[in-house]
Each structure stands twice: as C-alpha cells, then as structure tokens.
Amino acid sequence: MWRWTCTQEHRRRFAGPGSAVLMLGLLLSLAGQAAAQGFADPLETPAPRYADGLAGLPIQALANTGEALLAVGLRGVILRSEDAGRHWQQMPVPLSSDLLDVSFVSPQHGWVVGQDGVILASEDGGRTWTRQFDGRQALEQLSRYYQDDTALEPQARDAYLDQLRTNLQAGPVLPFFSVRFVDDRHGFAVGPFGMFVASDDGGQHWRPALHQIDNPDFLHLNAIAQVGEHLFITSEQGIVFKADRSGAHFRPVSTGHVGSFFSLAGHGDVLLAGGLGGVLYASHDQGESWHALKSPLTQLVSRIEFDLRAQRFTAITAGGEVLELSADFSRSSLRQSAAPMLYTDVLSLPGQVIYAGIQGLRPDSAEPVQPSRGEQ
C-alpha cells in the first residue's frame, strides 16, 4: 500500500492538476488496504496467495513475453498465463506492495515496479521474482552516487541532492510508475516529483538519473515507452521528454497541451499520447512536433497500445472507455462494453484483446460504435 507520508513540498504538488495519476494510484491502493486485516509492512510481507478467482483480482499492468502473459497488480500480485489468458497461475512474490508496471525485454528477462519504490526482476520468464531495489535504501544509495560524482557542476549536484532528500527523506513513500529496459542490461524507472533511476547491469545496481533529463522543475514522470530506437517519457504541463539515440539524455518537447500525459505508444515516426479528460495528441515526426486529435474520450487515458499485427492503436480510460484508431489515424471506432470498469491496461493478441482493471482481467467482447473517417 502507499504510505501516505509527504513533505510540505509534496502536499503542494499533489494539489495540482498533474496529480490525477497519483490520486488514481492512491485509490487503487486503498482498495487493497481495505481488504487487509490490520497493517503488515508490505516490504516485509510476501504477497497473499489466492486459491481461486485470480482473473478477478485488481490488475494494473500487462506484458507479453512472447512465451507467456504476465499481469501485475495490488498487494504484490503477479499472474502468469501460458495459454493466451484462458488460465492464470499466481507466482510467488517476496513482498506485498502494489505493483504498477511490468516490462519484458526478452522471453526470460523482465522487471516490475510499484509502490514503496519497489523494483523486482525475473530471469525465468516471470516464474520467480527477486527484489532489486526499494525505497528504504533509496535516499542513502542514490545520494551517495551524486556525492561521489566530482564531475558534476556543484550547483547541479546540490539541486539533485536536495530533490532526492525532498522525495525520499520520509522513507519508502513514493512509487515508481513505469519501467523500461532497452536490452538485458540498460533500463530506466520513472516516478513522481522527477524520480528517475537507471541501471547499466540488468538492475543489479540502480543509480539516480536526474542528470540525464532536462527537468529542472522535477515534473512528474508518468510513463516511459520505447518506439523504434527512441525512448519517450510522458509528463506534466504538456511535456513529452525524448531521448537521444544513445538513450543517455532526455530533452523536453512541448506538445502545446497544458495538462498531463499518462501514456504513449507508436510505430515508425508516428506517436500517440493520452492524458486527462480523454485528451489525445499525435506526432508524425518522432515526437518533434505534436497536434491535438479530436477525441470522443472523456476520462483519463490510462494506457495506449499499438498492435503492429493489426496496425491499430487502442486507447483506454479510467472511465471504462475504449477507442481504436488506425495506424495513420484515418479511421477510429469507439467501443462499448456491457460492463465497463476502471481500465488500467490493454494487450492485443491474435483474435482477442485482454483488458485489465480494478475488477480484474477481461477478454474483448465489445462491439464497435461511432465509426469515423479522416484524421481528426
């Protein structure tokens, strides 16, 4: 669960419009907390085991390893399926913090992040998981990196150290929202208040990466995604950060939007980002310039997926809305479910789509409505 202990600076930032994803995470965490019988430190308590009803557990993120499907969610739940989601098995997890994102770089190597600053890793396709990092050691470990780095300009180093103290001095308070590895050694995890960490050895060691992003206001970093050779991070104030080809440095690109983005996906030069109120912005030049699309969505866009096989974007919202768009945005279809829920992720498979959310895992059974033509 999310330990709700914040500094005065954090309280001020939580009051802003960019905090919606944080509030969403808190609500999901409270749902898990309500089910608990008394308090047990989630970092010291293994995930509870469920005998049945696995497909109905609250799920936050999905991944396809190429050989299996993974689903992660509240109270440390990690589910695995080897038959395209028809049957799920719960995997043992050494903690019960809420898990928010999962990413695999190969059928064997994957990572999970979540509340309490947790980072887990698997080397066997998600069957077993080990803890690589959590918020208890974060302040000392991350601060030491900058204290020992004599190459940094002193004013910049002091700013990074001050922000780390602001974020981490209360202990394992803040989550990591999203994780992405570009290969089995190099990866990043992002979170609120500019939290940004990196690993160069498969997660055996994690270091701060505040110096690798032009983010002087320490804006929330909501999600990290890879499209082709480029990494992108969605943020507040209409900002999408784009990495150079080496992935060593991220610079801000203004989209013209004033709010927050929470998800991004794409193919080739084409990108689609989604935010509060169903906002969708598109780019046709690898994120260098952006324009708004006319969107029928009304709620926070919690995830966007691009299905390469079907040449289709799918955008889902916290209000249970689903919008499908063609690869060039020339066609769109708003899909309607008989029992919508707070959607958190979507995963396209041959012949079906699996939706994840607060009420568990659901295969696609919706019918398309409101077809339209022409880029919006």
Half-sphere exposure of 285 (CA within 13 A, CB side): 6
What are the C-alpha distances in Å from 108 to residues 81, 112, 123, 125, 210?
Answer: 14, 13, 5, 4, 29
For residue 341, pLDDT beyond 50: yes
Closest CA relative to residue 76, chosen from 55, 65, 60 = 60
For residue 228, pLDDT beyond 50: yes
pLDDT of residue 247: 85
Compute the average pLDDT of residues 333-361: 91
- Neighbouring CB atoms inside 10 A of 60's CB total 27
What are the C-alpha distances in Å from 147 to residues 278, 298, 361?
Answer: 42, 46, 45
3-state secondary structure of 194: coil
pLDDT of residue 372: 57
- Neighbouring CB atoms inside 10 A of 53's CB total 8
Which of 199-213, 330-344, 359-373 has the largest mean confidence? 199-213
Please give the structure tokens belonging to residue 297. Answer: 């969505």
For residue 32, pLDDT beyond 90: no
Please give the structure tokens belonging to residue 243. Answer: 């990495």
Compute the average pLDDT of residues 347-365: 91
Report the b/e string of 137-147 with b at 16+ CB within 10 A.
ebbebbbebbe
Q: Which residues are CB-contacts of 283 (< 8 A; sequence separation ≥ 6)?
A: 255, 266, 269, 270, 271, 272, 273, 289, 290, 291
Q: Rounded to an integer, what distance in angstroms lies between the CA atom of residue 191 and that of residue 100?
A: 11
**Mean pLDDT over the full length of the chain:** 90
pLDDT of residue 370: 44
- Would you place residue 1 in the very low, low, confident or very high pLDDT band (cuts 50, 70, 90)? very low
pLDDT of residue 365: 54
Tell me the per-residue pLDDT of 178-201, one tens digit each, with 9 for 90 and over: 999 999 999 999 999 999 999 999
Q: Which pTM does this prediction carry?
A: 0.90
* Residues 324/314, Cβ–Cβ less than 8 Å: yes
- Would you place residue 38 in the very low, low, confident or very high pLDDT band (cuts 50, 70, 90)? low
pLDDT of residue 319: 94
pLDDT of residue 34: 44
Cα-only R_g, the chain: 19
* Residues 70/63, Cβ–Cβ less than 8 Å: yes
For the four alpha carbons of 357, 363, 364 and 365, in that order, the dihedral sign comes to negative
Tell me the per-residue pLDDT of 148-177, one tens digit each, with 9 for 90 and over: 998 999 999 999 999 999 999 999 989 999
- Backbone φ, ψ for residue 52 (5° rounding): -155, 180
Tell me the per-residue pLDDT of 118-138, one tens digit each, with 9 for 90 and over: 999 999 999 999 999 999 999
Give percent of the chain above pLDDT 70: 86
Closest CA relative to residue 350, chosen from 300, 289, 308 = 308
